[in-house]
A and B are shown apart, each in its own frame.
Chain A
């Protein structure tokens, strides 16, 4: 008699709201139980920091913390992605650290050395769930892609207007409702319909936006930009100061737009850089120039501490901003950065921007 193997339960690292589309995709294409990572708390960071090497960049600590919490909740299959810089090597060390702690699990790394192999991922999925079907996988992958695009699109609108809402919390409430409904769809038409419906609803929310608002662009390292807990909810803070915020990095950009845009950025910033500098460094220099030309009032550059590509981009970004006379502030976030310190610096920056306006 053939013995049926028990399927494991899956978990993955937490980043912003993207756990929802990730959960959507995995739960539709695999029959495994999925343990959705919880929102990051101070305990997550404490756990992650405790078992990480000393001067590794902060996203390592955050993702290790979420994976540990997932293991505690009974997961035994971990999925980690990889990227262009140090991020691509996270998986291997994290696997070793967790094994040394005595957990029993299987670790799957989607991207190796910055490159994805479709065949490898297919075999990986087959290994996780022998009943995995390719066509179903592709179908839901396309829906997920569209969902991420819609989410990022709506987020873009929210970021520009949340600082001016008349009734407090109306944007976030609607967004939560939207995400809940998004996760229930199962065909692209329904998704598109929902997107149109909620876009209209968002536009109907009452805002009190004067014509001469302060505009700030956020650039920086991708994880810190996208995970609100890791930047101490900087965007929320800016919203409470009634500032219009523009942010470039989102998952849709990283996965589908980056390879096209990067050439344009390099062309635009010929005066400052000639080559790509790893991860998002060259992108951020291009964005800084774009923001300067669009007459933004200020630029905030955020990164996790020890993020090498961003560190090499920083002197060039400050040179660009110097040439165009646009103020820029750099924040570096670590697991033990003091929140008060960040707040004070942000307030001072805000006051300075206001004063510049009055001159």
Chain B
């Protein structure tokens, strides 16, 4: 008999929890099918499925879900509400499961993290395992193993990124959600342009730490969005070692529109706020990036 296949869309949470999911499901003995990297076709099918006011990242997610349809037995669509009262996520993440369920026929797998209402990650993963017909102990072990693997991977990532801080080139801190900057359609264009301009790009997402979260609360005491808090917390941590900050968000990201605006006003440092939508071409982006980097070079010359 064939193994049960579980599809994972390569968008949104995948960039946070991808390793956790794949190793958890593989350890339980399932075949995991991750959707291919974003292409123009995926985006178009996502756009057709979604409302025109939804954010670009969500449209891409829908496209990925659509490509997985009828290719696998289940699709994993989690609902991640919050990790505590002051650690909430975007409202799109809350409604994700219900939105997807209404246009797809393949059965969905889900787990619901809502720590404000005592729905914790481990219990939810055990429930997920149980719903797939696996034992409680087995699921728990699989979760613990994959969680350790996930932590280790993050640590290695941080180490690699930290090396870049010693570079003599112009250093830019790139503040963006991983599902935006690592997505081939949104972020890779920007990364390629920056690489050609010979600057060191430091990803803020790799430096998430508890210390940073505390610093984020100094900048913005009421901030209650987990992912944004983690990102802006890295700015005060690294501020002295970088030359400029580049904010990248997808159009129209609800949380970034407020938080990034506040950061632009509060942090006095050269910065550029790039907003990507499905129509933005690389030419306009290139000019803006070029002039931003010219400013950084000039500033460094003056300091000497």
Taking beta carbons and an 8 Å cutoff, which residues of A are in contact with B?
53-57, 60, 85-86, 88-93, 96-97, 100, 109, 112-115, 272-279, 281, 305-306, 308-309, 311-316, 319, 332
Contacts and interface: CB of A to CB of B under 8 A. Distances in A.
Interface residues of B, number: 41
Contacts of A272: 98, 102
Nearest to A330: B51
A332 B53 contact: yes
A102 B224 CA distance: 27
B103 A315 contact: yes
Given A96-B265, A315-B103, A54 B223 contact: no
Interface in B173-199: none
Interface of B: 50-51, 53-55, 79, 81, 85-86, 88, 90-92, 94-99, 101-103, 112, 220-225, 251-252, 254-255, 257-259, 261-262, 265-266, 275
Contact of B91 (A55, A92, A278, A319): A278
B95 A86 contact: no
A308 B102 contact: no
A93 B264 CA distance: 11
B223 A274 contact: no
Contact of A113 (B54, B94, B222, B262): B222
Nearest to B261: A53
Contacts of B224: 88-89, 112-114
Nearest to A273: B98
Nearest to A274: B98
Given A306-B53, A308-B90, A316-B102, 13 more contacts: A53-B257, A55-B257, A56-B261, A96-B262, A96-B265, A113-B88, A276-B94, A278-B95, A306-B257, A308-B55, A309-B94, A311-B51, A316-B98
Contacts of A115: 85
A56 B258 contact: yes
A316 B261 contact: no
A40 to B, nearest CB: 22
Contacts of A57: 254
Given A308-B90, A308-B254, A315 B222 contact: no
Contacts of A60: 258
A306 B222 contact: no
Contacts of B95: 275, 277-278, 281, 309, 312-313
B54 A311 contact: yes
A89 to B, nearest CB: 5
A243 to B, nearest CB: 27
B222 A91 contact: yes
A92 B51 CA distance: 30
